[in-house]
Structures are given as C-alpha cells and as structure tokens.
Amino acid sequence: MPLQPARTVEELRELRELTGNENGAQRIAWTETWERARRWLRGKLDFAEHEVDEAANEWFTLRGESDRALLIGGHIDSVPNGGWLDGCLNLLAGVEVLRRLHEEGTPPLTVRLVNWADEEGARFGRSLFGSSAAAGSMADQDELRDRTDAEGLRLEDAVRAYGVDLDRATDARRQLENAAAYLELHIEQGPVLESLDLPLGVVLGTFGVERHLITWTGQAAHAGSTPMNRRRDALAGAAKLALDIRRIAAETGDGAVCTSGAVVCRPGIVTSVVETAEQLLDQRHLDARKLASMLDEAKRASEGFAGEENVEVAWSKIWSIEPILFDERLIELADEAVTEVAGTSHRLPSGPLHDAAEVSRAGIPTVMLFVQSLRGLSHTKLEDTRPEHLELSVQALDRLTTKALDTLS
C-alpha cells in the first residue's frame, strides 16, 4: 500500500476528538490525557518495536539492514488549550512514513520514530525535557527537582509517576548512539510561508536568543510639583529603548527580531514619576555575530538614553542560547523533497526552539520541514493548516526520508 497522506489528516482529527475539548488540545505532559494520547499512538504503531527511555521518550523502531538509524521525531504533548497540529503532525506524518517503509520490506538503515516527552514545558516551565535528556545537554536536574506546577505538585514526583528518575534521565543518551540523522516536520507557527503563498519550507536552523533584564533607575518625585525639565524618569529610558529596538532589528535584517515584553514600574502610582523601571528584552537571530552586535547596539543605545534622561541603566542576563544551524547536506535534500512535492521551496529560520535543536546540538545531522500555518497562529485552538497542505507535508517528509536513506546508506 503506498503512502496515504489523507489518513494522517484523519488521524489528527481522531486525536483531537480523543484529547481535546471546546478550548483546544489538552495533552499537557505528565497528565492522564497525555498518557491517553500516548496509548493511542502506540496502537497506531503495533508493527514497530516499542521502547520507553529513561526520560519517558517513546521510541518506535523498524529494524533495517544496518544498525545506523534515521530518526524522525515529534511530540504528542500540547500546551493547555493548544492547537491540533503542534507536535503531533510530526508524529502522525512519521507514522505514515513508517507504515510505507514497513510494507515495502527492510529499509537500508534502521528507522526510528521518537515521541519526545514534554517538549512544551507547559506545566513546569521546562521546555524540551525529553530531547535535552537524550541530547545529554540537560544539566538543571537539581533545579528541576523542586519545580512545582500551579497546584504545588513537584516536578520530581510528577515525572516519577511516569517512570522517570531525574538522576538517570540523561541515560537516554544511548538512544542517539547509532543516530545517522534526524528529521522533523512541524507547523511553522508563524506567518512567513502564508505571506509567500507557499505550503512548505525548509528550516535553516533555530534562532539564537539573548534575554536580558534592564533596570532603569531614576528618582520618584511628585507628579504635580516636579517641573518637566527636573525629572529623572526611569520609564522614559525604557520607553525610548522599547522603540529603538525596532530600528536595531530593521537595520540588522535577515529575520532579526527584538521584543520588549514587559516593563514593571515603581512606585507605579499615578502621582509619581517612575523611580525604577524593570524592562525585559528578548533578541533573536540565526547569525551569532549579528545577534551579538544587536545586543551591543541595544546596550549602547540604552546608555545614550540614560544620559538624555539623567537616569541609570544596568543590564543582567536572564538566559541565552546560541543559534543552531541545521545540516547543509540535509537542507539540500529537504529542498529537493519540497520542490518535488510543492513546485517551489523556500528556506527560513525558526524563531521558536524545537526538539530538533537539541538533537542538532548533540552533533546529529538534523533538518526540519515547516508547513504553512494559517494566520501564523499556534498555541491556541485557532491553530490551523489547510488539509491539502497537511497532505503535502506528509509527502515531503516521506520523500525526504527516502532521500536521506539513499544518501546515508
């Protein structure tokens, strides 16, 4: 039986029925609904060998002529009130590819589909749990142990109920020992492909991220008695920077994005000039040098604004990650696969991180395919993609799998 992409769309709808409600998908990791989805997925793959690793990732294996393995991945967990495609499209497209390979006989390489545990981090705020454990990059076990969810339940206890011992989670690394390459299909979750009227794209890598807290310090003063030219208004500095990062992003180009996501003002009353403004800044770029220069430029600009407003400014890093570039040879193959299926290909970076970034960081050649998201929406029940585009995406993943098997064997 050849590939049946329409079956993937039917199965996505089936999963939506099984694990969603009127507010959207509810497959939050380490919950009963997540487990129901995992059981359902296992039922679809009864022809493959099944294994759960130390980080609760599930592996479905088709033995090939060689032990070297081509990996295809996705995540069945969702955010609360999530969309019907994020993460599970990857898996169900992978299911269809495995079916096709299984019916054709023994593939030249072993092919494994992985359902990563807790990609979203929706409950405990720790994204990429399973893939970072398998990549060996998870290093925050001590901090994770005491993380709690909104109900006060500890992460350590929640994961133990699913067989995970935090101290042994990175033993999942052995799963990547024979990995020759990793492929992941995902919805774009942004508006770029739709704006270009293209169904599919090839992902070059994931953005590097710089996240900083900027503290502006002025002087609280009476709103009535303090003349405008005597004020030391911390918010004025933050406001100038919030606007100037648009210029910085535009001048840097190539997809650069800068966001000032919050400013907290104190004393925060209507009758006082702002004494302190705590501002959050997030900057992203695929090019490490450009990312670094965007950060330098924002710092320089902030010092200028501090001078103009007679306030002080201090920066502290919250978190950062380097850009992760996918494998050039696999990008070429992905371009070929997308062009064959859709007529035109387009290369684009990914703003969000994905499990693929962790696998790539572990040194496994990696590439991702994106399929258009309608209105660019995700992490909401409004998330959607046209059925015909979903079908094309299954075909593209299938073609890419064949090309990767041919190239690697």
- Distance CA(366)–CA(355), nearest Å, equals 10
Name the DSSP letter for residue 60: E
Residue (96 or 383) nearer to Zn ion, CB: 383
CB of 8 to Zn ion, least distance (A): 16
Tokens of 325: 């570039």
Closest to Zn ion by CB, 54 or 86: 86
Binding region for Zn ion (CB under 5 A) out of 30-38, 83-91, 209-217, 368-376: 83-91
Min. distance of Cβ 354 from Zn ion in angstroms?
Answer: 6
Q: Judged by CB under 5 A, does residue 77 bind Zn ion?
A: no
Per CB under 5 A, does 188 bind Zn ion?
Answer: no
CB 73 within 8 A of CB 95: no
Q: Does 194 bind Zn ion (CB under 5 A)?
A: no
Torsion (CA) 47, 393, 374, 280 in degrees, nearest 10: 80
* Residue among 64, 82, 87, 208 that touches Zn ion (CB under 5 A): 87
- In our burial notation (b when 16+ CB lie closer than 10 A, e otherwise), range 389-409 reads bbbbbbbbbbbbbbbbbeebe
41, 48 Cβ separation under 8 angstroms? no
Tell me how far apart the alpha carbons of residues 87 and 75 are, in angstroms, rounded to a whole number.
4
Q: Which is nearer to Zn ion, 68 or 381 (CB)?
A: 381
The whole-angstrom separation of Cα 267 and Cα 178 is 58
20 near Zn ion, rule: CB under 5 A? no
Residue 226: CA count within 13 A, CB half-sphere? 14
Gap between the Cα atoms of 133 and 126, Å rounded: 12
Q: Specify the residue, 76 or 214, whose C-beta has the smaller distance to Zn ion.
A: 76
* Of 95 and 248, CB closest to Zn ion: 95
The residue (of 73 and 87) whose beta carbon lies closer to Zn ion is: 87
Judge whether 396 and 369 are in contact, CB under 8 Å.
Answer: yes
| Nearest distance in Å: CB 378, Zn ion | 8
Q: Does 86 bind Zn ion (CB under 5 A)?
A: yes
Q: Which stretch, 55-63, 65-73, 84-92, 291-299, contacts Zn ion (CB under 5 A)?
A: 84-92
Measured from the CB of residue 43, what is the shortest distance to Zn ion in angstroms?
A: 22
Q: What's the DSSP call for residue 82?
A: B
Residue whose C-alpha is closest to residue 89's, from 197, 162, 184, 168: 184
Segment near Zn ion (CB under 5 A), from 80-88, 191-199, 248-256, 298-306?
Answer: 80-88
Q: How many CB atoms lie within 10 A of CB 146?
A: 9
Q: Given the rule CB under 5 A, which of 53-61, 82-90, 257-265, 289-297 is the region that contacts Zn ion?
A: 82-90
To Zn ion, the closest distance from the beta carbon of 240 in angstroms equals 36
Contact call for residues 404 and 94 (beta carbons, < 8 A): no
CB of 75 to Zn ion, least distance (A): 6
**Contact residues: Zn ion, CB under 5 A:** 86-87
